Every structure is written in structure tokens, then in C-alpha cells.
Amino acid sequence: MPTIFTRIINGEIPGTFVWRDDRCVAFMSINPLAFGHALVVPIEEVDHWVDLSAELAGHLFAVSHLIGLAQRNAFRCDKVGLIIAGYEVAHAHIHLIPTNDMSELSFANAASSVDRAQLEASAEAIRQNLPSPPSLLSS
């Protein structure tokens, strides 16, 4: 059975995307720890990040770097936190969270829901601060 992330990637469930290429996507978290919280997810369903090929892991981190730079510029935060936990969904993913304090990286702070307009606004702010490769999505 496909993971919820695969269903988002395939368009079966709505997602607010900021990046798509042939190996991964990035979309906004629906339970964000902070405004601008994004997930970088491989298209291939791999449960644990240590089981990713070295090439795919490198690609995910390269994309995470670009998105993190865009988040830092868009949200004027002190740091962009990066978390790989892997317990929420059995599909490897990287959390990228604009922060101004370490306490903002606690999953206890996750929003139970978020307004669609807020997701779109944060996604647009990230997209506006990314380089413009053909893989970039407008929504």
C-alpha cells in the first residue's frame, strides 16, 4: 500500500509543493512546527533514511540545502533546522524548519492543522527565493 507521501506525490491527496524533480519533491508540512516548515521526500518509497542509496541521500541533501537557503531568505530566521525522525510516516523525509530558537524544533509544538492560505503563502515565499530550475513548481 502506498504511503501518504506517495499519494501526495502522485496527486491523489493535495500537497503544496515547492520543488519537484525526477528523484524527489518538497512540499509544505500540514502539521508545521513553524511558518514555512517544508518536507523533502524521495519519490522512491524507502522507510529509513539510512537505506537510501548514497546518491539519492546526497541529492536530498542538495535539494534541502537550496530550500533551506530560500527559507532563510524568505522568513529571515536565525537558523533552518533540519530533522530526520522517520516515525511519523514510513517514507524517508527531511524536515526543514525556519527557527529563531532551539525550542521551536520540538514536535510537541506541531500545529494540529493549518489554513490552506497560510500553506500557499509560505510556499510562495520559498519559491520566490529559490533558483529557477525547470523542476520548480508554481503550486
Give the number of other CB atoms < 10 A from CB of residue 10: 11
pTM above 0.75, yes or no: yes
Whole-number Å distance between alpha carbons of 118 and 53: 34
Predicted pLDDT at 134: 43
Q: Is the pLDDT of residue 11 over 60?
A: yes
| Domains assigned to the chain | 4-128 (3.30.428.10)
Q: Is 95 a catalytic residue?
A: no
Q: What mean pLDDT do residues 111-122 have?
A: 93
* Beta strands across the sheet bearing 24-28: 17-20, 24-28, 38-42, 94-99, 79-83
Q: Is residue 59 classed as helix, strand or coil in its secondary structure? A: helix
Using alpha carbons, select from 60, 61, 65, 62 the residue that is nearest to residue 80. 65
| Distance between CA atoms of residues 11 and 131, nearest Å | 24
Quick one: pLDDT at residue 1? 87
> What was the pLDDT predicted at 133?
57
| 131: confidence class by pLDDT, cuts 50, 70, 90 | confident
Which of 95 and 131 is assigned the larger pLDDT?
A: 95
Say which of 59, 91, 93, 95 is annotated catalytic: 93
Q: Determine the average pLDDT of the residues in 108-123.
A: 93
Give the residue, 132 or 86, on which the prediction is more confident. Answer: 86
User: Percent of the chain at pLDDT above 70?
Assistant: 94
* Average pLDDT of the chain, as a whole number: 93
Is the pLDDT at 80 greater than 50? The verdict is yes
User: Own/partner pairs for 77-85, CB < 8 Å, 24+ apart?
Assistant: 77/34, 77/36, 81/105, 84/49
Element (H, E) at 40: strand 38-42
